[in-house]
Structure 1
Amino acid sequence: MRGTLVTLLLLCATAGAQEPPLTVEASEGSLSVVPFALPAYQPETSWLLGGAAALVYQPPESSGRRESQLLLAGAASLRKQFSLILSSDVYALEDRLHLGGTLSAARFPDLFFGMGGATSASAEEPYTPTYHEVELSPKWRVLPSLYVGPSGRLYVAEIDNPAPGGMLDQGDVPGARGGTTVQLGVSALWDTRDSTLYPRSGALVRAQARMALPALGSTAAYNLLRIDGRGYLTMPYAPHVLAVHALIELRGGEPLFYDTGKLGSAEMMRGYYEGRFRDRQHLALQAEYRAPLFWRVGGVVFGSVGNVGRSLDEELLSDLKPGAGVGLRVAPVADVPVNIRLDVAYGSQLSFYLNVGEAF
């Protein structure tokens, strides 16, 4: 759930960056300060209000270099949830170096249903987690579209107000009392998209391989391989676009329950409450067809399948959970490829999403 709000705020700041209110022009590009505020809605948070301020660098168009951004953002919901984040997406040294990182904190009343892909909705247990996270992933360009580098993550969680007598209250679940995760590893980024805001062609692949060990200060010992791949194809009857998104999360060892794969969010497996199903292994695949309708209004239809499980076995692949929905897209500013999106999806429940930017 924290990740969903973070994504929303990143999209808000990116949308605001298209027409910055304060810009300093220079021969080497422009530097802009972008404030932004936006209401949004999704099942995990109810209504929320987010605010952001971004420092955006736009290089000269003739340079062929990429934009850079530093983001400070926050959000609060009607359910007394909050999220704060300082994020870096900076390209330096003529785009040879990418500096990615996150400093964040969040507190969300949440729900726990147990582990696995066959838990019952009646097993719902409320609890209140508080998270603090630092993540650093500097990457060096080794090929024209490929960046590789080390990756580190510190994640500290406190778990409050578990349901009396429930699984978390009894302490039977790893992480039921909170804990600390320290991960070290490598990350890679491959990006051939024609646009970071509304891609019509190309692909994006993010990969991470990290380990968490007690010797590093972690409460639990486990390893993680995460691959997030997205592809975009402009149809012959442009500007219709077919977009496909695949996610693989594989874990070995015993991760804390809040650090496992979670099915459902505003980006992947819409129609499922985020964390309704969770476990060590997490697979998901979705496709979305995007088409203009009239004026600056577009429509989408999407479908997804996914599952979680303790092991990567036949049961995980044979019991895939489906989801599907439709949505509207409205571009608030002409000639700016950033949409406000309203999605209606059904998976384990009927869900509505009001956000800025595409789901993926």
Structure 2
Amino acid sequence: MKRRTTFFLILQFLLCYPAPAQEQDSTVDLGKSESFAGKLFGLADRTIELLSTDSWTFIPALTYSPETSLGIGGRALKIFRTGKDRAFESTRPSSLPLTFLYTLNHQVILTGELELWMDENRSFLNARMEFSDYPFEFSGIGNEVVEAEPYASRYFFFHLYYEKKIAKGLYLGPRYEFRVDDLYQKIPGGMLDSRNIPGSNGQRLSGLGLAVNFDRRDNIFQPTKGVYHQLSWMKFHSLFGSNYDFSQWIFDFRKYWSVGKEQVLVGQARFSFSEGEVPFQHLAMMGGSDLMRGYFEGRYRDRHAMVYQAEWRFPVYRNLRMVAFGSAGQVGRKSSDFGLNRNLRMAGGLGFRYRLNEEGLHLRIDFAYGDQPAFYFGLNEVI
């Protein structure tokens, strides 16, 4: 059954999702099979024309991850640039994705996000809003996980970031985050029902923070060289309307190397540290489609986390690419919990990428293994 499902998703991925104009120098010699492959990819090209207008791309959203199971919905995506004339060409592309998703785990997810580059990349604004009805699992806190217990939560999330360029590639700006959770279903007598865990009776978070970004990527959707480093700090406090008081620091370092013909190596080191009374929903986590693919999201969570990831990206045929990736990570309550011989967990896998437009936006399928085999189907690169 799993093999049939995997084949179905790959077939949908190839037939139902489109591509931009082709680059002849990225093709490989497939001999007689090239005719069939050309027809197959040509069908994808025609599909995008049917699903798109001059300014919007409409994508049937078919997703999969261990946390959600199969998800079905739709996504409308607009890629645009601000400014005019010379400034128009030099300003990075902005994006506006709108997504609705319903999963076989009975999760409902509605999101909208605006990433806006302005004034020839001298300022950047990001706004995201999300509403979810989200049955999920909780496996405790720390490295000694217990049998997962289900719970269900409705939550609303909003954040607003603004950054201003202060030097070449260097951006600084404030950020605001708000989140409210209603845990409407818990296991009677379970861990969350005891109310001894912060956030188990719901939460309301409101906080202000600051971020410093050093961004020298050559492309925001598909970088081939450069760096992206971010240092962010958030403070949630009753003064801002939050019912939990805590601070959180996140350090995210990424480096991109161009190697060989159209091949890219990527490395990431991400550290998250918290202080204060942190609700379990906001603890540092490993797992999911972004951090440590192959581990269930939130299976390991604690005050602090360190995650290292690497990818090798290379072309296969026309707009189809592949990715080989690996990762290692740890969570802990204090700094002494970290070390090579202290609960270091590893994962790895392979993935496929299919280019959607000239800006470099990709659809992706990842097959990973960590503490379980898993595959993910979604949009955009992980790092």
TM-score normalised by the chain length of structure 1: 0.86
Report the Cα distance in structure 2 between the residues aligned to 1:88 and 1:322, rounded to whole angstroms: 34
Regions of 4+ moved over 6 Å: 15-20
Say whether residues 1:278 and 2:278 are aligned partners.
Answer: no
Which of 173, 181, 190 lines up with 1:166 in the alignment?
190
Given that residues 81 and 117 in structure 2 are in contact (C-alpha distance below 8 angstroms), is that contact kept between their aligned partners in structure 1? no
Q: CA deviation at 1:258?
A: 0.5
Report the Cα distance in structure 2 between the residues aligned to 1:17 and 1:222, rounded to whole angstroms: 45
Given that residues 288 and 297 in structure 2 are in contact (C-alpha distance below 8 angstroms), is that contact kept between their aligned partners in structure 1? yes
1:255-294 matches, within 5 Å, as 255-294=278-317
Change (3 A) 1:94 1:299: closer
Change (3 A) 1:315 1:243: closer
Q: CA deviation at 1:314?
A: 4.2
Partner of 2:30: none
Structure with bigger helix share is 2
Partner of 2:245: 221
Which of 121, 128, 133 lines up with 1:107 in the alignment?
133
What is the aligned-residue identity percentage?
29
Report the Cα distance in structure 2 between the residues aligned to 1:260 and 1:334, rounded to whole angstroms: 36
Given that residues 213 and 228 in structure 2 are in contact (C-alpha distance below 8 angstroms), is that contact kept between their aligned partners in structure 1? yes
Change (3 A) 1:243 1:164: same
Say whether residues 1:51 and 2:77 are aligned partners.
Answer: no
Change (3 A) 1:177 1:314: closer
* Counterpart residue identity of residue 195, structure 2: G
Name stretches of at least 5 consecutive residues in structure 2 with no aligned partner.
1-16, 21-47
Given that residues 303 and 322 in structure 1 are in contact (C-alpha distance below 8 angstroms), is that contact kept between their aligned partners in structure 2? no
Change (3 A) 1:184 1:119: same
Which of 240, 244, 247 lines up with 2:270 in the alignment?
247
Report the Cα distance in structure 2 between the residues aligned to 1:203 and 1:268, rounded to whole angstroms: 19
Partner of 2:90: 64
Name stretches of at least 5 consecutive residues in structure 1 with no aligned partner.
1-14, 24-31
Partner of 2:4: none
Say whether residues 1:82 and 2:113 are aligned partners.
Answer: no
1:133-148 matches, within 5 Å, as 133-148=157-172
Structure with bigger strand share is 1
Q: CA deviation at 1:234?
A: 1.1
Given that residues 309 and 316 in structure 1 are in contact (C-alpha distance below 8 angstroms), is that contact kept between their aligned partners in structure 2? no
Q: CA deviation at 1:166?
A: 0.7
TM-score normalised by the chain length of structure 2: 0.81
Say whether residues 1:156 and 2:187 are aligned partners.
Answer: no
Change (3 A) 1:340 1:54: closer
Q: CA deviation at 1:295?
A: 4.8
Partner of 1:308: 331
Report the Cα distance in structure 1 between the residues aligned to 2:272 and 2:73, rounded to whole angstroms: 29
* Counterpart residue identity of residue 248, structure 2: L
Which of 222, 225, 234 lines up with 1:210 in the alignment?
234
Partner of 2:377: 354
Which of 238, 257, 277 lines up with 2:261 in the alignment?
238
SS of corresponding position for 1:169? helix
Count residues in correspondence. Answer: 335
RMSD of aligned Cα (Å): 2.4
* Counterpart residue identity of residue 244, structure 2: A
Report the Cα distance in structure 2 between the residues aligned to 1:315 and 1:226, rounded to whole angstroms: 17
Change (3 A) 1:68 1:110: same
